[in-house]
Chain A
């Protein structure tokens, strides 16, 4: 042993050493602070995003109404409540030329004002609102009434405090006369896309999303679960299995827009499936979601301990029975968690659906899987492109709805994961 070179013992209390240690602790503190601020800033961004959307979107759920006085008896020539109730009510109301009546009433009450300001006062949905009111209460037709009807988008935005100068002035005049009111915008939840922002609603897109998701889950879930079971329980170790595994792992990381290209060529061009339909959208998203379910499913199946398989095999169950009677039920919570996360991703997906034509203007809720339809995220994208300022709040309101659904799905997934996390 060579002990000739003896070190001088370190003097930990020397001023240099103390200074050095203080410096090291300062750097430690800085580093920790950097970490904390990274976390806080990431969170702050999320909060900022949510607040921006809530702030912009909240008013999207409100609708500004303006009062309109309509003297039905004089304008309809004395139509009776009887004539617009009962079986033929719809036809009778339709034959009344309500658009004309409203136009005259507007002219009577606001004519000069509207002309001065060169600004439409009522949304094009006002006529329909009047018709709906008459249907609900036919006796109105025998009276001179003051109805609250949806105001034009420009006035709506101005009343909410973000309008153009001209509309602001008009709004101020109307407001001073007490002619403007605000109500919950039910038509936003029940309506479909429209070029008039006051009429635009999300029901059509929402239904399209639901239908697309139905197709997606019907295809992706069984295929994903069966693939996961095959790969984890039965697949022999050979090149074919490797090929399947590599395919699945890569599909999970392929950019979503590539699936759009696939859908465009395979489903639309080669198979001639209906363009813009929930069917093609669902198929495309199913191919995208399936690998996520397979990967989550494999992890869930893997976490079922071998002892359970051995116990089942020990009492004489066949390999298929072992899997379907024992492994699958135990792995199901994990698989469901993965499925929900995959579905949440599919629900928020936009790009592939743009490519298969789901960006069309669809003014009515789709009635079938092969009808042209749109989905919530695409609707958000379409509205975000609109120039009218009134669409800003609509876009944000639609985002709130979409986020609500996604967060609910994610919360359920997180709950499932925590609730059923490995008990062995």
Chain B
């Protein structure tokens, strides 16, 4: 029986336990005891949870340790002792035999694995029967324990609610686990990277041309400065030059000038713009914008303009960011008390004077926070640059040249036939760690600025 089938069994018994517990509680209700402490449903849930939680915990643990147990049993067999001592091909043979025994693979490629198949099948059926017996025992032990607890004055509800609360807590801990997982995996792999390549070279080197054969003390082409520059140039400079004026002015117009009707039409349009997937923007940038920008650049005299130029990627990324800037600016301006606006208008200021001299300065912290969030979004954006920007690391401020970014290189380094431990792969994680830290800092600062600003007007 596979783990899935066992799980199904557990849930089936859980359902039975629910009905039994409920029926038992209902039987308590009679003329003498018209009211029991908790509704029968809660007794049912109490029984059900006791019947399913212990075996599920067992199965989770079991699914992690049983493969090792099975392998040990196979290796203990004299026939398995004969296979090659080379660790790599040995594990390949073992995993293939296991796959065939499971039925997930049909063909055998590795020499020597065919004789292990029956051994695997045998070991697996042995441990599977152990799992089955243990599961059923646990179901009945838990169910029986719960059954004995059921009494008219038993507080089933508070017990069940305690478990519900535990479930809620566990659910919210998944976010923490994810964060820990991100940090752990990035740091772990990035650490392996810096044992191969000097972090000084990585962080301050200007030559990005990753080599696989690392020679200590030499320039191995892992200098990431051109990537950092490209990321900033495209995401924080070109994109923002597009996004900030358009986003800000759109927000100002929609909140201060437009009729409610126009606003109610245009806001969803901006939301649609925000909902277009980045791969579509990327394709659009590569197919339409990039050639147009190159032609324009050639026309104005940049004869060496690349077709995968930074400008196209930056412009399209800026357009993608417009809705974000607009909605952040919208929120910030809306948070400025109406009394400020009235005060200025009552002085005889025009609307634009009020906006420029009172509203925007007052909303500035919020707007700046929003722009920081937008920058963080832009430098972490992948598909637009992967599809429209270049792969060549150029340290140049020429917007018509091909410039690469951190995210482009992460994708480039992780595709192709790379061994997981190769410096190429590990470099991607080092880049990922830098990207994570920078976006994290930007977000923290931005959220703090915005929060402070909101508090100032509350």
Contacts and interface: CB of A to CB of B under 8 A. Distances in A.
Interface of A: 24-25, 27-28, 31-32, 34-39, 41-43, 45-46, 49, 52-53, 56, 222-223, 226-227, 229-231, 234-235, 243-244, 247-251, 253-259, 261-262, 264-266, 269, 287, 290-291, 294, 318-320, 341, 344-345, 347-351, 354-355, 359, 377-378, 380-381, 384, 392, 395-396, 399, 402-403, 406-407, 410, 414
A358 to B, nearest CB: 11
A253 B439 contact: yes
Contacts of A35: 249-250, 252-254, 256-257
B175 A251 contact: yes
A347 B253 CA distance: 32
Most chain A CB neighbours (cut-off 10 Å) among B278, B280, B352, B379: B280
Contacts of A287: 178
B343 interface: no
Interface of B: 157-158, 161, 164-165, 167-169, 171-176, 178-179, 181-182, 185-186, 188-189, 245-250, 252-254, 256-258, 266, 268-273, 275-284, 286-288, 319, 322-323, 326, 350-353, 355-356, 373, 376-377, 379-383, 386-387, 407, 410-411, 414-415, 420, 428-429, 432, 435-436, 439-440, 443-444, 447
A291 B175 CA distance: 7
Contacts of B377: 253, 255
B235 to A, nearest CB: 10
A257 B376 contact: no
Contacts of A266: 181, 185
B352 A39 contact: no
Contacts of A410: 271-272, 275
Contacts of B319: 42, 45
Given A35-B249, A403-B280, A227 B174 contact: yes
Contact of B271 (A27, A348, A377, A414): A414
B439 to A, nearest CB: 6
Nearest to A24: B350
B246 A41 contact: yes
Nearest to B249: A38
Nearest to B183: A262
8 contacts: A38-B250, A223-B171, A255-B379, A258-B436, A264-B414, A318-B158, A351-B383, A407-B275
B178 A226 contact: no
Given A38-B253, A255-B382, A262 B185 contact: yes
Contact of A38 (B181, B245, B287, B380): B245
Contacts of B247: 38
A261 B410 contact: yes
Contacts of B373: 253
B386 to A, nearest CB: 7
Nearest to B104: A370
Given A227-B174, A230-B169, A258-B182, A351 B436 contact: no
A128 B106 CA distance: 27
A262 B252 contact: no
A402 B182 CA distance: 29
A359 B157 CA distance: 50
Contacts of A227: 168, 171-172, 174-175
A402 B273 CA distance: 14
Contact of A261 (B168, B277, B432): B432
B246 to A, nearest CB: 5
A407 B280 CA distance: 13
Contacts of B286: 384
Main secondary structure of the interface of B (DSSP, over half): helix
Most chain B CB neighbours (cut-off 10 Å) among A24, A259, A261, A265: A261
Given A49-B284, A320-B161, A350 B185 contact: no
B175 A290 contact: yes
Nearest to A243: B176
A265 B436 contact: no
A257 B352 contact: no
A244 B380 contact: no
A257 B411 contact: yes
A231 B169 CA distance: 9
Nearest to B174: A223
B168 A258 contact: no
A265 B185 contact: yes
Most chain A CB neighbours (cut-off 10 Å) among B171, B246, B381, B432: B171
A39 B411 contact: no
B168 A351 contact: no
Nearest to B288: A52
A401 B251 CA distance: 31
A254 B174 contact: no
Contacts of B165: 230, 234, 320
A344 B428 contact: no
Contacts of A39: 249-250, 253-254, 258, 266
Given A255-B439, A350-B383, A414-B271, A380 B410 contact: no
A244 B172 contact: yes
Given A227-B168, A261-B432, A254 B380 contact: yes
Contacts of B407: 255, 257, 351
Contacts of A381: 279, 282-283, 383, 386-387
A226 B167 contact: yes
Nearest to A37: B249
Given A24-B350, A42-B250, A348-B277, 13 more contacts: A31-B356, A45-B273, A227-B174, A243-B176, A254-B440, A255-B382, A262-B181, A266-B185, A319-B161, A350-B383, A354-B411, A377-B383, A402-B280
A351 B386 contact: yes
Contacts of B161: 318-320
Nearest to A274: B104
B279 A265 contact: no
A249 B381 CA distance: 18
Most chain A CB neighbours (cut-off 10 Å) among B158, B168, B386: B168
A250 B380 contact: no
Given A227-B168, A249-B447, A258-B435, A38 B246 contact: yes
A345 B386 CA distance: 19
B387 A384 contact: yes
A354 B415 contact: yes
A349 B272 contact: no
Most chain A CB neighbours (cut-off 10 Å) among B281, B283, B420, B443: B283
A31 B283 contact: no
B279 A257 contact: no
B176 A350 contact: no
Contact of A230 (B172, B182, B250): B172
Contacts of B420: 269
A227 B278 CA distance: 29
A156 B297 CA distance: 34
A339 to B, nearest CB: 15
A244 B319 CA distance: 33
A335 to B, nearest CB: 14
B273 A42 contact: yes
B38 to A, nearest CB: 10
Contacts of A255: 376-377, 379-382, 407, 435-436, 439
